[in-house]
Copies of this chain bind each other. A is one copy, B any other.
Amino acid sequence: MKDDAKSRKAELTEHLKVGILTLRLQPGTDLDEAHLSDAFGLSRTPLREVFRQLAGEGYLDLRTNRSARVSEMSYTTLRDFFLAAPMVYGAILRLAAQNATRAQIDALKDAQQAFKAALRAGSAEDRALANNRFHDVTGEMSGNVYLLPSFNRLLIDHARIGMTFYRPQTTKMTENLSEASRQHDAIIAAIEAGNEAAAAQLAEDHWNLSRDQIELFVMPDALDVPMGAPLSKPA
């Protein structure tokens, strides 16, 4: 059982990634080098290398002479997200259908099993991470080094945005999650059949569903209170 520096470094990386994807580490959070190096038994040198790497992948922002910070999410970035996601997701799934290997398809099926399990009995964090894993595998399948950087960057914020809607608050939202799961199954089938057109269409459908889910959160049903009626006082 090796617990050397290498594995501790990987642990730290995973810890930060998961924390950021699940919003446990919220956008804008400052990271304390001293505390983290202490907690993971690493000196600051390798720790800072991990920071640089995660910054390169879009998890963190680095500012000279200031602490590393979990990358921000603002309304402008949300707009950019909506613009870029459909295009990149479509291209990735199309390429995945072209290039997926047997082993990758098996990995995708495993990811989907985990996603279903998370829907049945998991927390919001479990669902977001399982969904992230599913799409991450489709990225691997595409194998296109030029599209992956943007795709992975999108997946980070998709998970973070999704953390709000994987905690379903209405029946409609719950139905949407079941639909997403069915779409995952269809995506697997399209990839396995090498059906590019179907994969691209499913990417669009899947994205539209995801967008609807986001809209349900951003624009909830209006409160059922007559105009002018007093609202309950804030604490």
Contacts and interface: CB of A to CB of B under 8 A. Distances in A.
A80 interface: yes
B144 A153 contact: no
A6 B65 CA distance: 11
A151 B49 CA distance: 24
A187 interface: no
Contacts of A77: 145-146
B48 A81 contact: no
A45 interface: yes
A64 interface: yes
Interface stretch (A12-20, A83-91, A112-120, A205-213): A83-91
A64 B6 contact: yes
A198 interface: no
Contact of A48 (B49, B84, B88, B150): B49
Interface stretch (A22-30, A52-60, A162-170): A52-60
Interface string A42-75: 0001001100110111100000100000000000
Chain A interface size, under 10 / 10 to 19 / 20 to 34 / 35 or more: 20 to 34
Q: How many copies of this chain does one complex carry?
A: 2
Contact of A84 (B144, B152, B153): B144
Contacts of A84: 91, 144, 146-147
A152 to B, nearest CB: 8
27 contacts: A6-B64, A45-B45, A49-B49, A52-B52, A52-B53, A52-B56, A53-B55, A53-B56, A55-B56, A56-B56, A58-B149, A77-B146, A80-B143, A80-B145, A80-B147, A81-B146, A83-B91, A83-B95, A83-B144, A84-B91, A87-B87, A87-B91, A88-B150, A146-B150, A149-B150, A149-B152, A150-B150
